[in-house]
């Protein structure tokens, strides 16, 4: 699909007709909250604690992965001698402490999430972070911000496998084509598209390859729920 103009359809005067997706499926790290720098900082600290060095190349290879996959990558590329579960718990604990001190929202994300709720658009959180992190986020958001939460430790196959998004769609009781996914990583976009969910990619820490079934925008800032379907429609033309 070709990329539409960066501005929202509503802002450019294109009529939206009030069309709304049945649900918006949100990735968390890098899409809703700007937590990827926190993960990278914790990776550096962990590897250096064991006498190793960590690079941005290694860190970027982990963006969007299931946490167990990222932990095994760290073990394979550093002198860290912990178990996979211990690595995940160490990293997630550090990131959660940082987020709890100050939630680093991505531009436009909390406003769009709130607007979805106001307009009656259902929402799901579909993330590779584990339940303790999603519980933290839902505590700091207004009650009822998400109808469904699918954390990484609730699925057998993480992103880029379609299972996380298929699970969210099933729990919402909807069809994939009725929904819109918001993602920032290649693995997340691949997961949503493989599940048949029309996807809007907002690349952040790493580039996202152009993908059939997805459209790219530079930011969620200024977007309203009624802008999402026109963006996808424009890309399909």
Q: What is the pLDDT along the chain (237 residues), one digit of tens a residue?
A: 333 333 333 333 333 446 999 999 999 999 999 988 899 999 999 999 999 999 989 999 998 788 999 999 999 999 999 999 999 999 999 999 999 888 999 999 999 999 999 999 999 999 999 999 999 999 999 999 999 999 999 999 999 999 999 999 999 999 999 999 999 999 999 999 999 999 999 999 889 999 999 999 999 999 999 999 999 987 666
pLDDT score, position 174? 97
Domain count, the chain: 2
Range of the domain at 162: 23-34+105-236
Could you say which of 101, 132, 157 is where a domain stops? 101
Residues 96 and 109 reside in one and the same domain: no
Question: How far apart, in whole angstroms, are the C-alpha atoms of residue 176 and residue 185?
Answer: 19
Q: Are residues 204 and 186 in contact, defined by beta-carbon separation less than 8 angstroms?
A: no
Nearest 5 degrees, angle CA 215-CA 220-CA 221?
A: 145
End-to-end CA separation in angstroms for the chain = 8
Strand, coil or helix: what is 227?
A: helix
CATH of the domain at 140: 3.40.50.1000
Question: How far apart, in whole angstroms, are the C-alpha atoms of residue 84 and residue 36?
Answer: 19
CATH of the domain at 82: 1.10.150
pTM of the shown model: 0.83
Strand, coil or helix: what is 231?
A: helix
Nearest Cα to Cα of residue 148 among 162, 176, 167, 163: 167
Give 29's DSSP letter.
Answer: B
Residue 139 lies in a domain: yes
Residues 133 and 207 reside in one and the same domain: yes
């Amino acid at each position: 699909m070709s990329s539409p103009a960066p501005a929202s359809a509503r802002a450019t005067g294109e009529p939206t007709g009030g069309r709304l997706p049945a649900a918006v499926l949100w990735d968390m790290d890098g899409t809703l909250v700007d937590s990827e720098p926190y993960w990278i900082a914790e990776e550096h600290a962990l590897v250096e604690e064991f006498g190793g060095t960590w690079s941005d190349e290694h860190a970027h290879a982990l963006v969007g992965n299931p946490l167990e996959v990222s932990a095994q990558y760290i073990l394979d590329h550093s002198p860290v001698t912990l178990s996979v579960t211990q690595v995940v718990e160490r990293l997630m604990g550090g990131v959660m402490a940082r987020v709890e001190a100050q939630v680093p929202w991505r531009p436009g994300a909390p406003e769009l999430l709130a607007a979805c709720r106001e307009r009656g658009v259902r929402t799901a959180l579909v993330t590779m972070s584990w339940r303790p992190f999603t519980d933290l986020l839902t505590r700091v958001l207004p009650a009822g911000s998400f109808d469904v939460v699918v954390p990484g430790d609730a699925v057998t196959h993480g992103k880029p496998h379609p299972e996380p998004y298929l699970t969210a769609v099933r729990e919402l009781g909807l069809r994939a084509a009725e929904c819109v996914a918001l993602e920032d990583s290649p693995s997340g976009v691949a997961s949503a598209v493989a599940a048949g969910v029309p996807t809007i990619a907002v690349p952040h820490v790493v580039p996202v390859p152009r993908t059939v079934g997805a459209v790219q925008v530079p930011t969620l800032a200024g977007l309203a729920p009624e802008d999402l379907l026109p963006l996808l429609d424009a890309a399909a033309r």
